Structure 1
Amino acid sequence: MNSSISADFLNKLKTQTASSHKRLEELPVSSYILSPNMKMEDYAHYLQLMYDVHSDVEENIFPLLSATIDDLKERAKKHLIEEDLLYLNYTKPVARNVFNTQNITIPFALGILYVVEGSSLGGRFILKNLETIDGLTEGRGVSYFGGYGNKTGSYWKTFLHLLMAHEEEYNVENEIIEGAIYAFDCIHNHFVNTEK
Structure 2
Amino acid sequence: MQTQPSISLPADNNHPNIMVRLKNDTQAAHQHLEKAPCFKRLFAKDYRLNEYAQLLSYFYGYFSGIETLLFDNLPAELHSQLLYRRKTHLLQQDLNVLGINSAGNLPICEALPDLTTFAQKMGALYVLEGSLLGGRVIGRHLSQQLGDDVSSALNFYHCYGADLETQWRGFAVLMTQCFDSQPEAEINAVLASATATFATLGQWVAVCAAKEESGDFL
* TM-score, length of structure 1 as denominator length: 0.89
Kindly provide the CA deviation profile for residues 28-83 of structure 1, in whole angstroms up to 9, marking residues without a partner as x.
Answer: 01111222211112111100111122212321101143534523332121111111
Equivalent residue for 1:185?
Answer: 199
1:103 and 1:131 mapped to 2: Cα distance? 36
Contact 1:36–1:132, Cα closer than 8 Å, also in 2: no
% identical aligned pairs: 24
2:143 and 2:39 mapped to 1: Cα distance? 17
Structure having the higher helix fraction is: 1
Distance 1:144 1:21, change over 3 A: same
Contact 1:136–1:142, Cα closer than 8 Å, also in 2: no
Between 1:53-62 and 1:184-193, the stretch displaced more is 53-62
Distance 1:136 1:66, change over 3 A: farther
Contact 1:98–1:187, Cα closer than 8 Å, also in 2: no
Letter in 1 for 2:50: E
Shift of 1:128: 1.7
- 1:48-63 to structure 2, matched below 5 A, reads 48-63=57-72
Letter in 2 for 1:105: T
Between 1:61-70 and 1:154-163, the stretch displaced more is 61-70
**How many residues of Structure 1 are paired with residues of Structure 2 in the alignment?**
195
- Asked if residue 126 in structure 1 is aligned to residue 138 in structure 2, the reply is yes
- Asked if residue 113 in structure 1 is aligned to residue 120 in structure 2, the reply is no
Contact 1:121–1:152, Cα closer than 8 Å, also in 2: yes
Contact 2:90–2:156, Cα closer than 8 Å, also in 1: yes
Gaps of 5+ in 1: none
Contact 1:38–1:133, Cα closer than 8 Å, also in 2: yes
1:103 and 1:73 mapped to 2: Cα distance? 16
Contact 2:70–2:121, Cα closer than 8 Å, also in 1: yes
Distance 1:82 1:9, change over 3 A: closer
Contact 1:56–1:98, Cα closer than 8 Å, also in 2: yes
Gaps of 5+ in 2: 1-8, 213-218
Equivalent residue for 1:77?
Answer: 87
Contact 2:18–2:180, Cα closer than 8 Å, also in 1: no
- Asked if residue 88 in structure 1 is aligned to residue 95 in structure 2, the reply is no
Kindly provide the CA deviation profile for residues 135-180 of structure 1, in whole angstroms up to 9, marking residues without a partner as x.
Answer: 4468311111112101111111111111111112433221111011
Shift of 1:103: 6.1
* TM-score, length of structure 2 as denominator length: 0.80
Q: Please, which of 153, 175, 179 is the counterpart of residue 189 of structure 2?
A: 175
Kindly provide the CA deviation profile for residues 71-116 of structure 1, in whole angstroms up to 9, marking residues without a partner as x.
Answer: 3332121111111111111121435125435562111111100000
